[in-house]
Structure 1
Amino acid sequence: MKRIGFIINPVAGMGGSVALKGTDGMVEEAKRRGAIPVSPKRAEAFLRALKKKRAWYTCSGIMGEEACRRAGLDVEVVYEAPERTAAEDTKKAAACMAPMVDIIVFVGGDGTACDVLDAVDAQLPVLGVPAGVKMYSAVFSNTPADAAEIVNSLEELPVEEREVMDIDEEAFRKGEFRVKLKGYARTPVHPKIQAGKEVTIGNGKREIAEWVAEEMDDDRVYIIGGGSTTWEIKKYLGIEGSFLGIDVIKGKKLLCRDAGEREINKLLDDAAKIVVSPLGNQGFIFGRGNQPISHEIIERVGRENIIVVATREKLARIDSLKVDTGDERVNDMLRGYMEVITGYRERKLMKVE
Structure 2
Amino acid sequence: MTEFRLGLVVNPAAGLGGSVALKGSDGAETAARARELGAEPKASKRAAQALKELVNGKVDCRIFTGANGLGEDSCALAGVPCEVIFHGHEPSTADDTKALTQALVESGVDLLLFAGGDGTARDVYAVVPSEQPVLGIPAGVKIHSGVYAVSPRAAGKVVVQILQGHLTTVTHADVMDIDETAFRSGTVRAKRYGEMLVPEELRYVQAVKMGGKESDELVLTDIAADVIERMEDDVLYIMGSGSTVAAVMDELGLANTLLGVDVIKNGELVASDVTARQLEQWVVTEQQPARLVVTVIGGQGHIFGRGNQQLSSALLAQLLQAEGKEAIWVVATKAKLQQLNGKPLLVDTGDAEVDEQLGGLIRVTTGYHDEVFMQIDAP
TM-score range, shorter chain: over 0.9
Q: Helix, strand or coil: the match of 1:5?
A: strand
Shift of 1:137: 0.5
| Residue 5 of structure 2 is aligned to residue 3 of structure 1 | yes
Aligned partner of 2:188 among 174, 177, 181: 177
Shift of 1:153: 1.4
Trace 1:17-32 onto structure 2 (pairs within 5 A): 17-25=19-27, 26-32=30-36
| Residue 305 of structure 2 is aligned to residue 287 of structure 1 | yes
Q: Which amino acid aligns with 2:331?
A: V
Moved more, 195-204 or 287-296: 195-204
| Residue 79 of structure 2 is aligned to residue 72 of structure 1 | yes
1:200/1:83 CA distance change after superposition, 3 Å:
closer
Aligned partner of 1:86 among 65, 89, 93: 93
Question: When the two structures are aligned, how many residues end up with a matched partner?
Answer: 353
Shift of 1:34: 0.6
Q: Helix, strand or coil: the match of 1:41?
A: helix
Q: Helix, strand or coil: the match of 2:9?
A: strand
Shift of 1:266: 3.2
Residue in 2 that maps onto 1:109: 117
Q: Are the counterparts in 2 of residues 270 and 301 from structure 1 also a CA contact under 8 Å?
A: no
Residue in 2 that maps onto 1:95: 102
Q: Are the counterparts in 1 of residues 293 and 330 from structure 2 also a CA contact under 8 Å?
A: yes
Trace 1:43-62 onto structure 2 (pairs within 5 A): 43-50=47-54, 51=57, 52-62=59-69
Residues in 1 aligned to 2:261 and 2:133: alpha-carbon distance in whole angstroms = 35
Residue in 2 that maps onto 1:206: 221
Residue in 1 that maps onto 2:144: 136
Q: Helix, strand or coil: the match of 1:231?
A: helix
Q: Are the counterparts in 1 of residues 45 and 77 from structure 2 also a CA contact under 8 Å?
A: no
Q: Which amino acid aligns with 1:304?
A: E
Q: Which amino acid aligns with 2:75?
A: C
Shift of 1:174: 0.9
Q: Are the counterparts in 2 of residues 247 and 258 from structure 1 also a CA contact under 8 Å?
A: yes
Shift of 1:159: 0.6
Aligned partner of 1:330 among 339, 350, 354: 354
Shift of 1:262: 1.5
Q: Residue deviations 1:12-67, cap 9 Å, x none?
A: 01111111110112011101111000111111111111131112111111101122
Q: Residue deviations 1:293-348, cap 9 Å, x none?
A: 10111111122210000000000011211101111111011000000000111000
Q: Helix, strand or coil: the match of 1:331?
A: helix
Q: Residue deviations 1:137-171, cap 9 Å, x none?
A: 01111111111110011242111000110011111
Trace 1:274-353 onto structure 2 (pairs within 5 A): 274-302=292-320, 303-318=325-340, 319-353=343-377
Residues in 1 aligned to 2:367 and 2:250: alpha-carbon distance in whole angstroms = 16
Q: Which amino acid aligns with 1:101?
A: V
Q: What TM-score does the superposition give when structure 1 sets the normalisation length?
A: 0.97
Runs of 4 or more, structure 1, over 6 Å off, are: none
Residue in 2 that maps onto 1:157: 168
| Residue 266 of structure 2 is aligned to residue 251 of structure 1 | yes
Moved more, 166-175 or 64-73: 64-73
Residue in 2 that maps onto 1:121: 129
Unaligned 5+ segments in structure 1 are none
Residues in 2 aligned to 1:98 and 1:205: alpha-carbon distance in whole angstroms = 48
Q: What TM-score does the superposition give when structure 2 sets the normalisation length?
A: 0.91
Q: Are the counterparts in 2 of residues 134 and 288 from structure 1 also a CA contact under 8 Å?
A: yes
Residues in 1 aligned to 2:240 and 2:18: alpha-carbon distance in whole angstroms = 13
Q: Are the counterparts in 2 of residues 241 and 254 from structure 1 also a CA contact under 8 Å?
A: no
Q: Which amino acid aligns with 1:186?
A: L
| Residue 278 of structure 2 is aligned to residue 263 of structure 1 | yes
Shift of 1:201: 2.9
Residues in 1 aligned to 2:114 and 2:159: alpha-carbon distance in whole angstroms = 12
Residues in 2 aligned to 1:352 and 1:306: alpha-carbon distance in whole angstroms = 12
Q: Helix, strand or coil: the match of 1:83?
A: coil
Residue in 2 that maps onto 1:233: 248
Q: Which amino acid aligns with 2:19?
A: S
Unaligned 5+ segments in structure 2 are none
Residue in 2 that maps onto 1:166: 177
Q: Are the counterparts in 1 of residues 280 and 314 from structure 2 also a CA contact under 8 Å?
A: no
Aligned partner of 2:42 among 38, 47, 53: 38
Q: Are the counterparts in 2 of residues 256 and 263 from structure 1 also a CA contact under 8 Å?
A: no
Residues in 1 aligned to 2:290 and 2:82: alpha-carbon distance in whole angstroms = 46
1:72/1:266 CA distance change after superposition, 3 Å:
closer
Shift of 1:72: 2.8
